């Protein structure tokens, strides 16, 4: 009995058995992460959002976390509100 490459119903007699959970995505993990990040950037751009990366001292981050917990806001939302207030927007 020979194996046909397009035959998906019979067991492949020549390959080692694969253990674990079957793959649901043909890409490896790093490729998946890159694709997902690209899609996220496109989604944010469509919403009119732009990415900004800043470095802040640990004290400022701690204070933002405290305020965020009290108000139920994320760091990004706190920064946006503070900047809008400071820029009079």
> 29-87 has which fold?
Arc Repressor Mutant (1.10.1220)
| Cβ atoms of 78 and 89 closer than 8 Å | no
62: pLDDT confidence band, cut at 50, 70 and 90? very high
56: pLDDT confidence band, cut at 50, 70 and 90? very high
71: left (phi over 0), alpha (psi -120 to 50) or beta: alpha
Residue ranges covered by each domain of the chain: 29-87
28: pLDDT confidence band, cut at 50, 70 and 90? confident
Report the C-alpha gap between 26 and 31 in whole angstroms: 10
- The predicted model scores a pTM of 0.55
- Residues 6 or more apart whose CB falls under 8 angstroms from that of 15 comprise none
Report the C-alpha gap between 61 and 55 in whole angstroms: 10
């Amino acid at each position: 009995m020979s194996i046909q490459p397009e035959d998906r119903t019979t067991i492949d007699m020549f390959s080692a058995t694969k253990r674990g959970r079957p793959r649901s995505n043909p890409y490896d993990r790093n490729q998946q992460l890159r694709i997902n990040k690209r899609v996220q950037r496109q989604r944010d751009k469509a919403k009119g959002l732009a990415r900004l990366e800043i470095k802040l001292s640990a004290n400022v981050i701690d204070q933002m976390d405290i305020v965020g917990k009290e108000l139920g806001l994320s760091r990004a939302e706190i920064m946006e509100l503070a900047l809008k207030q400071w820029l009079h927007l």
